[in-house]
Structure 1
């Protein structure tokens, strides 16, 4: 299978939608990890926060009142364009969005009190460099067994076939090597029910759960069979698996 072009995918999705999934009607059973709830709990209102992989800025804007200054970066020009549009609508004066590569952060040493990264890759060394002493880094990531029944049905998908915990162990090792200590781990695996086929289709078209979804002629045949097999009273059933790391410098 050809390598999936994640950058081109995110640029396209960034322009079309950002990370706005408010159109999707779904029900979640179980308690999921929530990175930005942790940020709100820890913030005192005087912090400068860097959000890596900010996407369309929807989540960052929702917590911007909890900090003094929030800077969101993304490597996708499409995502940043959507973030700037969202910022203009909300008129938040303490938020900035910048196009930037997470492996080369163009900020001074120890500039930020908090650094967050949600569902995006990061450089532990760069995070450590720009984070102030006693600062906190929080990252939430998609676990390997997320949407497991969908990926099994299609025979392909994000992290398909990779053992559960592989990414978590990789990031913990990188953070330890970068000088972080007291790394806390939180994990969740909740059940999701999508109300209508179009809700699930929207999700698959705007995330890399099944790379290139819809571009293969058999995809919608597989989807129809999946929906028939996994529809319960509450909707079309799948799972959402996440882990979160909270690391102190």
Structure 2
């Protein structure tokens, strides 16, 4: 979630890709969140996007309240369609760097691949509340980095100061806001894109590459696809972490 938010096209591409794939990493994340959600709790999803995470959670936990916040009107437009049948979901337009909520308003706050302020998350969490973050590991999309060096949208990747001790960097950011980090697990998986068009959708959707042009950059994507082609499709590394922290 950037300052300006995703465009309508990015929102549409993201929604289509998520619906097409029930990613294992989404399941890992939803299961970890579900382990701390209890009836009548209030959960805030910062940078909820098209609301697929809280859509899953709201079905699993009918007696909890789920509030999704995003800075992008385009994302929220699709999110409303995805959650319109769920009475326990509320959607709000707002900035993850300055949360429009009172202190100690939520039992759980979650963030998935979105811009946010750890201090703001700490402020709106109740004492004893949980914070769960799903973020990128340093090897995520490394094949795309290899072929588009110099044009990478760095804010949409994670380039730690020290690749050997990147987990410490992640934990310190949250601990400095006052949290006690309970766990940080990372996962490396292979994603398979069935076609060059599908891979270009990923690059454009995030976005991963500055000034990406489907026509002008198609030759580079073709070379990438040939290099990493397999029987399952074009292999792209997905490296992510799930952090669980608590406010005391």
Cα distance, 1:153 vs structure 2: 1.4
Asked whether the 8 Å contact 2:118–2:177 carries over to 1, the reply is yes
Change (3 A) 1:44 1:23: closer
Number of residue pairs matched? 240
Map of 1:220-235 to 2, 5 A cutoff? 220-235=218-233
Change (3 A) 1:9 1:231: farther
RMSD: 2.8
Corresponding position of 1:10 = 6
The TM-score normalised by the length of structure 1 is 0.84
Cα distance, 1:7 vs structure 2: 4.7
Map of 1:1-249 to 2, 5 A cutoff? 6-7=2-3, 10-13=6-9, 15-22=11-18, 24=20, 34-65=28-59, 66=61, 68-88=64-84, 91-155=85-149, 156-159=151-154, 162-163=159-160, 164=163, 169-214=168-213, 217=216, 219-249=217-247
Asked whether the 8 Å contact 2:187–2:240 carries over to 1, the reply is yes
Cα distance, 1:177 vs structure 2: 1.9
Task: State the structure with bigger RCO (CA 8 A, min sep 6), 1 or 2.
Answer: 1
Between the aligned partners of 1:118 and 1:99, the Cα distance in structure 2 is: 16
| 158-167 vs 94-103, which moves further | 158-167
Stretches of structure 1 that go unaligned for 5 or more consecutive residues are none
Between the aligned partners of 2:140 and 2:21, the Cα distance in structure 1 is: 19
Change (3 A) 1:140 1:244: same
Change (3 A) 1:33 1:68: closer
